[in-house]
Amino acid sequence: MSRPIESTNAVLAARAAAEALAELRAGYATELPERVERLGHALAAWHRAPADATRLEHARVLAHKLRGTAGSYGFPEVGEAAGRVEEAVKKAGETSDDQQAAVWSEVLASLREAEELATEARARAGSPTSHDERVHR
């Protein structure tokens, strides 16, 4: 006779799990533009000193992390754009000086795409104003 109760508990547990994930995703989406912005800062720092391998590696690691994390949080298009940034940065480390400008254009185009997609994701998750209010409350 305990089956219906177990079944109800399972449904409730599944619903609670789905809600917990949805809440986590919404929080991540709200902060996604700032994450892409951090990547932009790292890329700009590397662009100012292209021979600095540490800056290049830092930018590549940030792009790589965003690639895996954004997709896992349910924003695959942002992850894919970050993946294109990572591939372009890797290419920059392997190409000659005269090709650097072309690679940088590629990096920027993918970064802009990631920025737009991240902003859209945040807009879908809730207004930035309400998040700011939560943060500063």
Partner 1 sequence: MTSIEKALVVDDDDDLLRLCKVSLQTFTDWRVSIAGSADAALHAAKSEVPDVILLDVMMPGGGGLSLLGELKGCPTTAGIPVVLLTAADATGIEACRARGAVGVISKPFDPAVLPEEIARIVREAGCR
Residues near partner 1 (CB under 8 A) are 13, 16-18, 20-21, 24, 28, 35, 61, 64-65, 67-73, 76, 79, 83
Print the SS3 string covering the chain: CCHHHHHHHHHHHHHHHHHHHHHHHHHHHHHHHHHHHHHHHHHHHHHHCCCCHHHHHHHHHHHHHHHHHHHHCCCHHHHHHHHHHHHHHHHHCCCCHHHHHHHHHHHHHHHHHHHHHHHHHHHHHCCHHHHHHHHHC
Residue 119 Cβ, how far from partner 1 at the closest point, in Å?
18
Pick 68 or 128: Cβ nearer partner 1: 68
Pick 72 or 130: Cβ nearer partner 1: 72
Pick 53 or 102: Cβ nearer partner 1: 53
